[in-house]
Amino acid sequence: MIDFEIDPELQRRLDTYRMVAQQIMRPISREYDENEHARPTEFYEAMWAGSRQGGLQVGAERGGGKSTGRTLFTILAAEELSWGDVGLFLQIPNPGLGGAAVMAAGTPQQKERFLKRFAEGRPKWAAMAITEPGCGSDSAAITTTARRDGDHWVINGTKIFCTSGKMAAELSEGFVVVWATVDKSAGRAGIKPFVVEHHTPGMTVVRVEDKMGIRVSDTAALVFEDCRVPLDNLLGSPEVKPEGGFKDVMATFDATRPIVAAMAIGVGRAALDFVRDFLKQRNIEVRYGLCPQRLSAIERDFMEMEVQLKAARLLAWRAAWLLDNGQRNNLEASMAKAKAGLVVTQITQKAVELLGPLGYSRAYLLEKWMRDAKINDIFEGTQQINLLIIARRILGYSSKELN
């Protein structure tokens, strides 16, 4: 039986995150939207202190059949903090996508080695580098190479749109998980993840992107030129076999796509809450329980926004619950991501529309939320890619049979 009940102690932590979102993140949201590449150092320090006492965890061990509740709690926390500001949420020092890749593909020893550093010391980040200039949604077309040379791997290639890439590559004890091919002739099976530690010679941050939304979050382009990493920085086995390689990429996304969905839900909820309060202040009542024909256009629009947000939330919760219980969630993770990405785009655009010129102006955060929303429909697999994955899983087709 699916159970979404949260332990009382975890609920208290969620209440704390709600307070952080409201009292710390919202007040600085506009400032760091307008100053895109400024670093909110005081925010980093405050969130790092909290994360060391039991912060967000991305990814989960498969198997065992017993729920840890960790992923479900993480997506609930992600929603709360993204309600405050989704860009700031992405900048919270934590293992992030890099940590998720370690959890999905690493050995027990590697998990201990690379992730224990996040329990102590100064704020630190981990990023994942997978997208390339000629390889966006088709991650299997990766051209970055890793060649063995003695007791090292030598990595060459370019990666773009790496969330927290600059922080992970340049700050103390961070790392970037780089996906590269060790055998081009093996296709997808030859793709392997490598941990590249901060300040490793040959890894260079060449650009930090200027973006439409989530502007406080750094999104970097990285170049690897004869970048040497130790042999045991390859996560998992170096053996090229059909059941490895690209499947590790997908296992990473199975863990992180529900979290991206939760981020979208947090932004959508922020817009919905704002519209609700705006209508109340003007004595406009949303009358539940009436047939649609008796409702005003505003009431129908608002109720549809609520329904779609709740549907997306339940999909994200289900995907997280499956992962926590050691069950395959590939279909559900893509469903949650696709639904939430579409819904948050629709909700934030409708919210701006309902308020008219006020919604479009910078007087409120609605226009910012509309800009922030769109990325949730793009990164970690676009809407189209996730719908394609959903179709393959439902119809039982392989990637070669349905592309």
User: Three-state SS across 293-319?
Assistant: HHCCHHHHHHHHHHHHHHHHHHHHHHH
Structure tokens at 18: 């709600």
Asked if residue 136 has pLDDT above 60, the reply is yes
Mean pLDDT of 177-200: 93
According to CATH, the topology of domain 246-395 is: Butyryl-CoA Dehydrogenase, subunit A; domain 3 (1.20.140)
Mean pLDDT of 188-199: 93
Asked if residue 341 has pLDDT above 60, the reply is yes
Asked if residue 287 has pLDDT above 70, the reply is yes
* Average pLDDT score, the chain: 90
Mean pLDDT of 237-263: 83
Asked if residue 98 has pLDDT above 70, the reply is yes
Question: Looking at the chain, which residues constitute the CATH 2.40.110.10 domain(s)?
Answer: 123-233
Q: What percent of the chain has pLDDT over 70?
A: 93
pLDDT recorded at residue 67: 52
pLDDT recorded at residue 4: 80
Per-position DSSP letters for 329-381, written without gaps between them: -HHHHHHHHHHHHHHHHHHHHHHHHHHTHHHHSTTSSHHHHHHHHHGGGTTTS
Least confident segment among 52-61, 177-186, 195-204: 52-61
Q: Who wins on pLDDT, 342 or 118?
A: 342
Question: Looking at the chain, which residues constitute the CATH 1.20.140.10 domain(s)?
Answer: 246-395
Catalytic residue among 79, 367, 380, 401: 380
pLDDT recorded at residue 62: 43
pTM of structure: 0.92
Asked if residue 389 has pLDDT above 80, the reply is yes
Q: How many C-beta atoms surround the C-beta of residue 136 within 10 A? A: 15
Q: What percent of the chain has pLDDT over 90?
A: 72
pLDDT recorded at residue 277: 96
Please, which pLDDT band fits residue 118 given cuts at 50, 70 and 90? Answer: confident
Nearest residue to 348 via CA among 388, 376, 380: 376
* CATH placement of domain 8-102: 1.10.540
Question: Looking at the chain, which residues constitute the CATH 1.10.540 domain(s)?
Answer: 8-102
Active site residue 197: no
For 150-179, the pLDDT digits (tens) are 999 999 999 999 999 999 999 878 999 999
* CATH placement of domain 123-233: 2.40.110.10
